[in-house]
Amino acid sequence: MKFSEFNLDPALKSAIEKLNFSECTPIQEQSIPHTLEGRDVAGLAQTGTGKTAAFLVPLMERILRARPLSPEASEETKELAAKRSFKDWRPQNFVLILVPTRELAEQVQENVEKLSEFSGLRGFAIYGGTGYDKQKEALKNGVEFIAATPGRLIDLYKEHQVDLKQVRAIIFDEADRMFDMGFKDDMKYILQRVPQDRQFLVFSATLNFDVLNTAYQFGANPVEVNISRDQAKAENVKDEIFHVGQDEKPQHLLSLLKKHNPKQAIIFTNFKLNVDKITRFLNDNGVPAMAISSLLTQAQRTKVMQQFKAENDSNILVATDVAARGLDVQGVDMVVNFELPNDAESYVHRIGRTGRAGATGQAFSLVSDRDVDSLMRVEEYLKHKVEVGFMEDKDLLKDFKPFVYSDHSYTRSYEGTREHGPRGGGGDRQRSDRGPRRGPGGNSSSSSSSRSGDRRPPRRPGDRIEARSGEAREPRGEHREQRRPHAGGGNARPQHPKRTEQKNAQGPRRQHSKTGPNHPKSSGAHKKTYSPQVAKKKSLGEKVSGFIKKLFS
């Protein structure tokens, strides 16, 4: 079906023709008629099939048809306006598009600008990481489309900068991704504050039950348009896996890029701390690459995406899943998964960055023993085995600068990879403030082994500090014998002045303490356990010496 068959407004039709859009994609062909009639729609289609235009084109048509008609308007025009237009559309009304990432908000805004070139419709992208001033100014001047991330939109709503009662249509773009990223409560918060008679549309490559249940909960009754019911990924994307060792991944990544020499490529990793390492590894080996992750500021992320989309030598992007959803870069012809994602749906979104708009693409995944579980989930989701590729020895690069594993964050992500240094904040260091570690038999281990068998009660904090701040201990037997006198002796433990004052102030009550002379456990066998004057316990040397004396006496 062609766009010309929809009888669109002349201004919108001109913009579509300028963009060289002629044939509708399946999702556009099946969802646009429902949207034009004001129905709620749940659109499910693979990535790269034109879902953004599937909701922007009909909603723009509805707004344009709501404009006042000239007296010379034809009967056909009046009929289309009566059938398609938003009823009682006012200048302060707008269409709200919620997206999970800042990059997707910018991309939707770019599409709004292109499609509204001749109609005068306005749009603006609202997201965090940037200043509020421009966003507040745009809202004050009025817009017909707002593409926003939920967090920043709620901030502006609480500051009374945006009136959610003016929403006439709300779209959840990549709704399942927003749920995965923890935006479910924010989405419900927004749905509770928009009018109940608004039009509701939700589009994604995958729709789970939770998303549709939320739609039903807030009064939506969407027509389901499912283009990918029996097909999880696009047919024009050829994906392969390479079974490699964990330490062989850098070599295979570099070899794949050198062999296929892609026009534009995206390399995905599960860990944002690996993004810079992979980028540095490629740049060190003469492969220009750029990095994008949540560690960058919004200004840096915007600059990276502009450079990646432009025609230059920096045609390789290393990214986390922040770039896996919704980003539309037409020239990407190769995707590499440095690790397989944890969930199978992310795999579909990743490889969907290539093969867009009918073009062909290829996707390669480097699978080590740590990716086996993820591979099983992916193949179960795809309902078929992923083809296994093989790199000939002649295609594997032998002379290249090694991958730098200096940051322990990488080795901790993959336990057993390379050499592990001592873990920061390890068990021994953490336990040093809580006293010695107890061994299996109840005795102290490691540094406290010299006091094995010592059943003295724990000292008060002040005493322990004094003991640890002193010089090295003397041999146990002699040391305890010298310290036995409790009062008057030169070897008695010095008393803290304040502690002495407290003891004197307490008076006779101290004699009833556990260490007092009247305590029932202060005599006999219990004296060793409860009294500070611990009975002398023979050391191993003393025992041996006594045995020898008895033997030869």
User: Is pLDDT of 71 > 60?
Assistant: yes
Residue 268, sorted as left (phi over 0), alpha (psi -120 to 50) or beta, turns out to be: beta
The DSSP 8-state label assigned to residue 529 in this structure reads H
Which helix (DSSP H) or strand (DSSP E) does residue 387 occupy?
strand 387-388
Query: What is the residue whose two structure tokens read 């920043």?
Result: 152
Say what the pLDDT of residue 232 is.
55
The per-residue b/e assignment along 253-280, b for 16 or more CB within 10 angstroms, e otherwise, is bbbbbeeeebebbbbbbbbbbbbebbbb
Ranking 66-70, 227-231, 237-241 by mean pLDDT, the lowest is: 227-231
Task: Quick: pLDDT tens for 459-515.
Answer: 444 444 444 433 444 444 444 444 444 444 444 445 554 444 444 445 445 444 444
Tens-place pLDDT, residues 272-282: 889 999 999 99
Tell me, what's the pLDDT at 368? 94
For 209-229, what is the HEC assignment? HHHHHHHHHCCCCCEEEECCC
Min mean pLDDT across 30-39, 51-60, 365-374, 420-429 is at: 420-429
What residue ranges do the domains of the chain occupy? 3-226, 237-413
Please check the confidence at residue 527 and state whether its pLDDT lies above 70.
Answer: no
CATH number at 237-413: 3.40.50.300
Indicate the burial class of 169 (C-beta count within 10 angstroms; 0-12, 13-18, 19 or more). buried
CA–CA gap between residue 12 and residue 10 (Å, rounded): 5
1 contacts 33 by C-beta, under 8 angstroms: no
What pairs with residue 380 in β-bridges? Answer: none
- Nearest alpha carbon to residue 225 among 204, 239, 209, 244: 204
Better-predicted residue by pLDDT, 509 or 422 = 509
The chain-wide mean pLDDT, for the chain, equals: 77
CA distance 479 to 483: 6
Note the residue count of the chain.
553
Are 3-226 and 237-413 equal in CATH topology?
yes
Report the distance separating Cα 233 and Cα 47, nearest Å.
8
pLDDT digits (tens, 9 = 90+) for 434-475: 344 444 444 433 333 334 344 444 444 444 444 443 344 444
* Structure confidence by residue, pLDDT tens digits, 142-167: 999 999 999 999 999 999 999 999 99
C-alpha distances in angstroms, 8 versus 29, 46, 63, 199, 395?
A: 14, 26, 11, 19, 53
pLDDT for residue 484: 44
**List of E strands, 90-166:** 94-98, 123-126, 145-148
Share of the chain above pLDDT 70, in %: 71
162 and 146 Cβ atoms separated by less than 8 Å: yes
| Per-residue pLDDT, 119 | 94
Residue 1's pLDDT is 87
Which tens digit of pLDDT belongs to each residue from 292-344? 887 788 788 878 888 888 776 668 999 988 755 556 677 788 999 999 998 88
* Strand runs labelled E in 80-133: 94-98, 123-126
Higher pLDDT, 409 or 169: 169
Under the banding of pLDDT at 50, 70 and 90, the label for residue 544 is confident
Q: Is 94 within 8 Å of 144 (Cβ atoms)?
A: yes
Cβ neighbours around 174 below 10 Å, total: 25
> What is the rounded distance in angstroms from the CA atom of residue 442 to the CA atom of residue 388?
55
Instruction: Tell me which CATH code domain 3-226 carries.
Output: 3.40.50.300
Q: What is the pLDDT of residue 453?
A: 41
pLDDT surpasses 90 at 406: no
Q: pLDDT tens digit string along 80-138?
A: 999 999 999 999 999 999 998 888 899 899 999 999 999 999 999 999 988 999 999 99
pLDDT digits (tens, 9 = 90+) for 361-391: 899 999 999 999 999 999 988 888 999 998 8
Averaged over 191-206, what is the pLDDT? 89
Which residue pairs, CB below 8 angstroms and at least 24 apart, start in 312-315?
Answer: 313/288, 314/288, 314/289, 314/290, 315/262, 315/263, 315/264, 315/265, 315/288
Residue 342 phi/psi, 5-degree rounding, is -70, -35
